[in-house]
Amino acid sequence: MTAGPADLAVLTVRQTYEADRLAMAGGRAGAALMEAAGTAVAAAVMDRRRPPLVLVLCGPGNNGGDGFVAARHLAAAGWPVRLALMGKAAALRGDVAGAAAAWRGAVLPLAAAAPRDGELVVDALFGAGLTRPLEGPAAELARQCAAKRLTVIAVDVPSGVPGDGAAPLGNLAFRAAKTVTFFRKKPAHLLLPAREFCGDVILADIGIPAGVLDEIAPRTFENAPALWQAAYPWRGRQVHKYQAGHLLVAGGSEMTGAAQLACRAGLRIGAGLVSVACDSASLAIYALSNPAVITLNLPEPSDFAAALEDPRRNAVVVGPGNGVTGATRARAEAAIRAGRRIVLDADALSAFQEAPEALWRQIAAAPPAEVVLTPHDGEFARLFPDIEGNRLERAVAAARRSGATLVLKGPDSVVAAADGRAAINGSAPPWLATAGTGDVLAGMIGGLLAQGMAPFEAAAAAVWLHGITAAHLGPGLIAEDLPDALPPVLRDLLAITIGPGNDG
């Protein structure tokens, strides 16, 4: 079956509980869900080299029940298992009590379960709904596992990490090599630094029907091609360059490299034409840097506005290397008034930092301008000083306020739309943190907008392609490498989209 957006849904803890409830209301027994979950955890353990001993740490809730099931399957397969429980077995209820009753081995008190050197630890203590920091024996076990560098397999999320969060509670959590979660991922599996505590995330099918998502209606997704590839603007055989969009990039007069990077990225991502608007003093620099880019002598904001009277110039990038000036702000405002598809990046964002509400009002009042904002954390803080929370929460709130699609850039970039949709990206490697890569991203988004892709999908696609291209290039990349490394990545994406043996 071909993957689709529903496969990439990211559920909050509350939505996950609702998925369980709907599955059970539809006839799937809770004990069956627990049996399937524990079986998946045992399979993840047995996928590794057999250790001297497995220590299964069980809490009093459903996570603990999954741990009891996993321990039973491991012991049945001949794996040496110790099991420790938080609390008393007699206090367990419901499906958890049933899972505990089926375990025939000893049950140690948690405080007596000191992990041994070389032991593999299954962390089934707390689920994703934990709301307070680890304490007591659980906290001590987390510290001992870290000190002994033990391999940990976590159930659902590592204990100490809230499922809806981006960081451990109290900065202490089990650090897992693998995390086995069920049905759909949660924000903690994707947001940093929580993602680093999860290790490799295994998504297990435990029998919850995908149809429950119709009622839950998730709005957050993991960013991957299945989310947007149906909207990707692959060209038909008879498309000419004027039908593939015309991207206009505002060029600065001093930091000319930024706009050059955006222009080249716009071309490589498929825009039919790309023009750069600049003053006469820098015209030769732009003309010599990239022969495929059209250079336009448009030194004044009024010239820029006049150029947008041509409807063929349907997408605009303002900001890279432009300077934090009134002229940069005026160019951004002209693009909004013209109703173009717009990327506001870097200096175009900082130009509004003293009165960001003026920008939100202009976006709301304009003709159907489709605006994408691409702040990094510092720019975000200046535009939205009162919005707090993790990266996902901040991006969603800011997109709603601004009326724009917003890319909150970082190692776990979040793309958020004004209607509440969001995509968490995980394709970016650490070597993307180098000068100019944001300018390339702005040009990629602009190029996709020029080709008619809707803002949320265009931003999500560009962010994913930006990250995966950097991953293919490897350490040592510089921003100039990214645009020219796009074609093989796009070729692979095309093969996934239309299948092998087809060429469009």
The answer to the question of residue 504 being in a domain is no
Together in a domain, 363 and 400: yes
pLDDT < 50 positions in the chain: 1, 501, 504
Number of domains in the chain: 2
Residues 205 and 274 in one domain: no
Can you give the pLDDT at residue 171?
85
User: Reduced to 3 states, what is the DSSP secondary structure of residue 402?
Assistant: helix
25 within some domain = yes
CA distance 314 to 292: 18
**Residue 485 and residue 449 share a domain:** yes
Contact in structure between 439 and 262 (CB atoms under 8 Å): yes
Asked, for residue 447, whether it belongs to a domain, the answer is yes
* Domain CATH for 429: 3.40.1190.20
> What confidence score (pLDDT) does residue 4 get?
79
pLDDT digits 0-9 by tens, 15-33? 999 999 999 999 999 999 9
pLDDT at 1: 41
Those residues whose C-beta lies under 8 Å from the C-beta of residue 192, and which sit 6 or more positions away, are 166, 391, 410, 411, 412
**Alpha-carbon dihedral angle through residues 421, 462, 410, 362, given to the nearest 10 degrees:** -60
Residue 213: CATH number of its domain: 3.40.50.10260
pLDDT at 159: 98
Q: What is the pLDDT at residue 3?
A: 67
Task: Identify the domain boundary among 218, 238, 267.
Answer: 218
Same domain for 108 and 247?
A: no
Residues 140 and 176 in one domain: yes
Contacts of 129 (CB under 8 A, 6+ apart): 13, 17, 162, 163
pLDDT of residue 504: 44
- Our CA angle for 286, 289, 294, nearest 5°, is 50
What is the C-alpha to C-alpha distance for residues 295 and 288, in angstroms, rounded to an integer? 10
Identify the domain containing residue 482 by its residue range. 225-498
**What was the pLDDT predicted at 499?**
63
